[in-house]
Amino acid sequence: MKNRPIHGAGLGFRRELIEALKAGVPEHIDFFEVAPENWADMGGRSAQDLRYFTERHPFVCHGLSLSLGGPAPLDTHLLRRIRAFMDMHQITLFTEHLSWCADDHHLYELLPIPFSEKAIRWTVDRIRQAQDLLGCRIGIENAAYYIAPPGAEMSETDFIREVLTRADCGLHLDVNNIYVNSRNFGFDAHDFLTALPLERTCYIHVAGHYTEPDGFLIDTHGNTVNDPVWTLLETAYAHIGKPVPTCLERDFNLPPLPVLADEVQHIATLQAKALSARREVA
């Protein structure tokens, strides 16, 4: 299992799903994703359950609280805990959000970084520190946000490209975040997608969202994925040129495992379609 590459379609690992997963992991689920902050240093039954699955299936770590763009000092203690957790469970990929979420305390919200040269230099330095402490190249996720960051000196896609290029890190592409932002701020999701440095894509998220009565979209990870987001994922595969490992995020309103497995299977179907198209071109 050590250094086994992540591939195919995955699912977020939730405690509520453990008993159902022990009865049998659906065939289309190739890997699981876990938030290390929620599991590192945990003991007892929860630790045993996680170990049971990490010994049998590949896992990805997706961080929630590094606050890579934030003003507070980078949490090096957390990074060391994450590295120990990844080593313990032989996890080789870590991703985090291109956002900030803490100052002198945790804000429990992912906030946008100003699209400025100063913010690029600040964030790049922190990503490099994180990669050095983790001992691996990490993926950075384009975030959903609900207020436009002040002080923009460039487009968001140019900002993301500069951060990833200078930090020499991967792109964790979240197609639902692109769709949510495009609806809330009135831009074309497909144009945004194709302007990203897709050649750096190492990992993809797909998820559902909630639509407020006034039409405003909230990135809840609590609903099924809708057709425009599936279409955006298919477009991403076409432009990337290969079916990058893709995880279904579902954090709330969890349906039974077979329902989630159907959505994971849809990811696998789109990946197979993209692979077939690539072979035809070749």
Residue pLDDT tens, the chain, 282 long: 455 779 999 999 999 999 999 999 999 999 999 999 989 887 888 899 999 999 999 999 999 989 999 888 999 999 999 999 999 999 999 999 999 764 554 544 677 899 999 999 999 999 999 999 999 999 999 999 998 888 899 999 999 999 999 999 999 999 999 999 999 999 999 999 999 999 999 999 999 999 999 999 999 999 999 999 999 999 999 999 989 999 999 999 999 999 999 999 999 999 999 988 777 776
Please provide the DSSP assignment of 121-149 as one string: HHHHHHHHHHHHHHTS--EEEPPP-SSPP
Give the pLDDT score at 127: 97
Q: Give the homologous superfamily in CATH for domain 9-281.
A: Divalent-metal-dependent TIM barrel enzymes (3.20.20.150)
Nearest Cα residue to 112 out of 160, 72, 179, 47: 160
Q: Where are the alpha helices (DSSP H) in the chain?
A: 18-23, 44-54, 76-89, 117-134, 156-167, 175-185, 189-195, 227-240, 257-281
Give the pLDDT score at 238: 96
Give the residue extent of every domain in the chain. Answer: 9-281
Whether 58 contacts 29, CB under 8 Å: no
Give the pLDDT score at 102: 47
Whether 39 contacts 50, CB under 8 Å: yes
Give the pLDDT score at 3: 57
Beta-carbon contacts of residue 128 (< 8 Å; ≥ 6 apart): 167
Specify the pTM.
0.95
Give the pLDDT score at 110: 74
- Rounded to whole angstroms, the Cα distance separating 255 from 259 reads 6
CA dist 172 → 2, 19, 60, 77, 94 (Å): 22, 29, 12, 23, 10
Give the pLDDT score at 148: 86
Give the pLDDT score at 86: 96
Q: What is the pLDDT of residues 69-110, one digit of tens each?
A: 988 899 999 999 999 999 999 999 999 999 976 455 454 467
Give the pLDDT score at 282: 61
